[in-house]
Structure 1
Amino acid sequence: MGLKYIEQIKSLLLFVLVFLSITLTFSIWTYKPDYDPLEKQKPPLNVSFEKKQQLADVVKPYRMVFHEKDTWRGTDRYEEMKNMLNRMHRWRISNMTLVSKNANAYKVNQLMRDADNFTLFFPAEVPYAIFQNILPTVDEQPKNLSFNKMILDWGRIDDSDELIVFFANTANGQLYKAKVHVDSQDDFYKYIIDKSHSLERYIAYARERGNTLYLPAQEEKVMQYTYLSSSSSIDKFKNALFTMPKRVKSSIDDTNFKENYTDGVSMMTVNTSKKTLDYVDANAVDNLEKTNKSSLILNTFNFINEHGGWTGDFRYEDVDTSNNKIMYQLYVKDYMVYTDASVTSTAIETVWGETRIARYIRPYYKLVSVPENETVMIESGERAIEEISKQDGVDINDVEEIRPGYYLSTNERPNVFILKPTWFYFINGKWKSLPLVPSAGGEQVGLE
């Protein structure tokens, strides 16, 4: 009897083993690890170069001009604007209405000239949804409102504790008007108007066409700076930008001073001579969807903030919604910094994809101050206009703006940058500088 059942037990055990083997084999063949697709994974956010910034640190006016009793005063120094802007946090705006959809330069010039007011100038269109962090709105804000000039008229404040504010967009002609309630009339005069009387005198240069140019009336002493360029770690950028840094392969092209990094989907090209990098996410580039200005600014700002990519004083400078592009320009001591493309870059350029960065072009150096600075003179705004008018092929009526800034150059010493102050003018979509002349011990620069 026992032998009879032993054979049956063996058969049963064999069947169980075969069944388990088939089940295990099928499980191995059909197993799919629970990974997110490579292109959908986000870069690690724990890689940080510099401290994070607030949006107000990056979106700033470049000029403030006061008009009072036919006198113009102003500044390009943000430190002189800062205290006044901080007072504006206490104000409240209401009754926003559309005045015009096609306000031309003459209309905006007239608003600035006809009353006691002050104007904030921004380098590019600022969506009101971004700016309301500075000037809160009581009522519902208009959709798609953006501006590059903010004009505050205080002519009626003695009667009502209210200002009239105009938001002018010289790019699309939109002009909005609203009321601003100040917290204290006395404080407004004390901290805004009285403080403005210490600002330098400006001139208002009206032209046959185009916006009026507002520039310092006198020449000014400005520092010329010498900096060492300290390189940020390329490995940190690799770890911040690539989804899986350990899978990234690199190659070196010594002939062209380039290093290439790729994971098969994204690529980062590093120019070790210019100290710049160009990161491209191929999948994101193929999926660009038009995004509104507010989202473009917030998305690119947050992207740079996540890895602490503010390796200098970079500020919002330009927007191109047709290509989802935002540019942040390097500033030093409140002056914009430009250079020749053959030397390096002084801007961060971002292109936003559907849900993430598509392209990221930037310098990876940091400026380290050295005690080799000197004081030089930069000419008055009126003299700058005269010299710009003399440049070949330049019609002063075609110049959109004139600003002081620094031109970055190199010398015979490695890793040394010289920042020379000069005048820049914006024409045909580009900034150009007046020709530089050698400077030494207070000699004028920026004009021939």
Structure 2
Amino acid sequence: MRSKELIKSIILILLVLMSVVLTYMTWNFSPDLANVDNQDSNNKASEANTIGKPLSEGMDQVITPYQVVHSKSEKTEGMAATKQNVESTLKPLKNHRVLHAEQMHSNHNLIIPDLTDEFLIFDFSYDMPLATYLGQALNIDAKVPNNFKFDRLIIDNNEDGNVKLYAISKDRHNVVRMTTSAKLSNFKKVVKTQHKYMQPYTEIITNKDTIDRATHIFAPKAPKALKSYHTIYNRISVDTMNSILFNDSVVVRSTKSSTATYNNNTGVANYNDESEKYRYTNLSEDENRSTNMQDSIPSTFDYINNHGGFTDDFRLFNIDNKNGELTYQMFLNGRPTFNDDDLNNIKVSWGDKGVFSYARALLKANVTIDSGEDDTKLPGAETVRSELANNPEINFEKVTNMTIGYNMEDKPDKSDIEIQRNSEFKPQWYVQYDGKWRAYEDGGLE
């Protein structure tokens, strides 16, 4: 009996001591917020240095053709270059290698004697280094001629069993013929599935360099009625752009009317809050931009993508090899968009060690919907060709490309308390004339 009382007493004493210890720890508890503060600070810094989510698919989502054309004997079909169409068509080519390559030159019209009567064409709106496209967009191991640039890639339906590629230069006088390890049977299966997206295309000859089947200009023969679209934008903050481009603290040097200037020891940026256009120049780089596109294309892609700068369907659309500036342009439904005020593009150039200049509108699409307007019926390619060829103010030999795109009309809604930026996208013919894309209208070029 006495032993039971003793045990109860010991247990009671232990409980009292535990209560005292817990009470003391509660009164003296001080949470360590250092890590929490640091984590929160790091999250905010990370958010401040990004515009959106980086692309996970890789460079082939941005370095793409603007159209895909299939030619077989007298029948020619083509399709807009939606991401899904391009990805599916190129998949059989990726992750292979070039077994053999040789360059051919012609002083006159380029003729490829071993090209069969059936082939697929990828048309690009710019000329780019072949090694860069094969190696970094398609992950093809290739030894090809240094500094060779192309703007058309042909995949031939040969009888050898392996895929043969022909990369054609912009001037249509040079071609690199390549035999790859990719199996032609796999490629033909994919092309067959893509025919449901194709429509009749026509072949156009504009000068002595486009008279062969491999060098024709291809464009939709009788375009289907196309919808117009309405887009509402979100804004990208100036502070976010400054945090991305400036290495340290930035100072507002001046604010005048609707324009603000920001700078530090390494760079200067200008922003206009009416046009919502932002331009940065890196003062620490050399005055001359790099014109080496084998470095500039992957470098600018990585730079923009790392901070989520491809907020919409931006794709490389123009390369200024002389000034070193690259233009990434917004696409809609696989078709390029055009805007006179450059609200639809990112212009960037590279220096010796980093970005030299960076310009864009601080807008990103929030929602894009059918505008509700009647579908637009555009004239056929032959009508466009005929009217341009007969226009005395146009030298038709300078026409190098024709395509259907969207005219981006900027329409701010001033009826709202906070002005909402809107745009209307309307389908229209566009013609690359003397190196520049211009809208076709009423038999002429705007």
In structure 2, relative to structure 1, the CA distance for the partners of 1:141 and 1:229 (3 Å cut) is: same
1:418 counterpart = 2:421 = no
Structure 1 residues 111-147: Cα deviation after superposition (integer angstroms, max 9, x where no partner): 7986211111111122233222454545533322332
2:198 pairs with 1:199: yes
Describe the SS at the equivalent of 2:386. Answer: helix
Partner amino acid, structure 2, of 1:199:
M
Number of the residue aligned with 1:7: none
Residue type at the aligned position of 2:94: H
Code of the aligned partner of 1:248: V
What's 1:431 paired with? 437
Question: Which residue among 123, 126, 140 is the counterpart of 1:124?
Answer: 126
1:142 and 2:145 are equivalent in the alignment: yes
CA contact (8 A) 1:154 1:162 kept: no
Match of 1:12 in 2: none
When residues 310 and 195 of structure 1 are mapped into structure 2, their CA distance, relative to the original with a 3 A threshold, is closer
Matches within 5 A, 1:245-260: 245=249, 247-254=250-257, 257-260=258-261
1:5-41 per-position Cα deviation (integer Å, ceiling 9, x unaligned): xxxxxxxxxxxxxxxxxxxxxxxxxxxxxxxxxxxxx
Q: CA deviation at 1:312?
A: 1.7
Preserved contact between residue 96 and residue 140 of structure 2 (Cα < 8 Å): no
Q: Once the 2 structures are TM-superposed, how far is the Cα of residue 270 of structure 1 from its aligned partner?
A: 0.6
Q: Once the 2 structures are TM-superposed, how far is the Cα of residue 44 of structure 1 from its aligned partner?
A: 8.7
The within-5 A match list for 1:176-325 is 176-183=176-183, 185=185, 187-193=186-192, 195-196=194-195, 199-211=198-210, 212-245=216-249, 247-254=250-257, 257-286=258-287, 288=288, 290-325=290-325
After TM superposition, give the deviation of residue 218 of structure 1 in Å: 1.5
| 1:84/1:284 CA distance change after superposition, 3 Å | same
User: What letter corresponds to residue 308 of structure 1 in structure 2?
Assistant: G
Matches within 5 A, 1:28-107: 47-53=49-55, 54-78=58-82, 79-89=84-94, 91-100=96-105, 102=106, 106-107=109-110
- Alpha carbons 1:317, 1:327 under 8 Å: kept: yes
Asked if the contact 1:66–1:72 (Cα under 8 Å) also holds between the matched residues in 2, the reply is yes
1:307-353 CA distances to partner (integer Å, 9 max, x unpaired)? Answer: 22112211112223332222211212211111223xx5322111222
Tell me, in whole angstroms, the C-alpha distance in 2 between the residues paired with 1:167 and 1:76: 20
C-alpha displacement of 1:402: 0.8
AA paired with 1:66? H
Q: Which moved more, 1:70-79 or 1:191-200?
A: 191-200
Partners of 2:119 and 2:97 in 1: CA distance: 18
CA pair 217-296 structure 1, distance change in 2 beyond 3 A:
same
C-alpha distance in structure 2 between counterparts of 1:290 and 1:148, whole Å: 21
SS in 1 for 2:226: strand
Match of 2:21 in 1: none
Q: Give the aligned residue type for 1:190.
A: K
Residue of structure 2 in register with 1:153 after alignment: 156
Which segments of 5 or more consecutive residues in structure 2 lack a partner in the other structure?
Answer: 1-44, 211-215, 415-420
Residues 95 and 140, structure 2, Cα contact 8 Å, conserved in 1: no
State the alpha-carbon separation in 2 of the partners of residues 112 and 364 from structure 1. 50
Aligned-residue offset at 1:416: 1.8
Q: Tell me which amino acid in the other structure corresponds to 1:119.
A: I
Q: Which amino acid is the alignment partner of residue 166 of structure 2?
A: F
Q: CA deviation at 1:200?
A: 1.0
Asked if the contact 1:90/1:183 (under 8 Å) is kept, the reply is: no
Q: CA deviation at 1:428?
A: 2.1
Mapped to 2, the partners of 1:112 and 1:393 lie a distance apart of 39
SS of match in other structure, 1:300: helix
Larger deviation, residues 75-84 vs 265-274 = 75-84
State whether residues 89 and 187 of structure 2, in contact with CA within 8 Å, keep that contact through their aligned partners in structure 1: no
Q: Residue 361 of structure 1 aligns to which amino acid in structure 2?
A: A
Contact 2:100 2:178 in 1 (8 A): yes
TM-score w.r.t. the length of structure 2 is 0.78
Counterpart AA for 2:170? T
Structure 1, 404-413 or 367-376: larger mean CA deviation: 367-376
Aligned-residue identity in percent: 18
Letter in 2 for 1:170: K
Q: Quick check: 1:166–1:176 contact (8 Å CA) kept in 2?
A: yes
* Contact 1:93-1:135 within 8 A present in 2 as well: no
Return the offset for 1:60.
0.3
Aligned length: 385
For 2:222, the aligned partner's letter is Q
Q: TM-score, normalised by structure 1?
A: 0.78
Q: What are structure 1's unaligned runs of at least 5 residues? A: 1-42, 438-445
Contact 2:128 2:150 in 1 (8 A): yes
Task: Please tell me whether the aligned partners of residues 94 and 138 of structure 2 are also in contact (alpha carbons under 8 angstroms).
Answer: yes
3-state SS in 2 of match to 1:350 = strand
Q: Is the 8 A contact 1:404 1:422 kept in 2?
A: yes
Q: How far is the alpha carbon of 1:285 from its aligned partner?
A: 4.4
- In structure 2, C-alpha distance between the alignment counterparts of 1:125 and 1:303, rounded to whole Å: 21
Partner residue in 2 for 1:364: 362
After superposition, residues 336-355 of structure 1 pair within 5 angstroms as: 336-341=336-341, 344-355=342-353
Partners of 1:174 and 1:204 in 2: how far apart?
A: 21
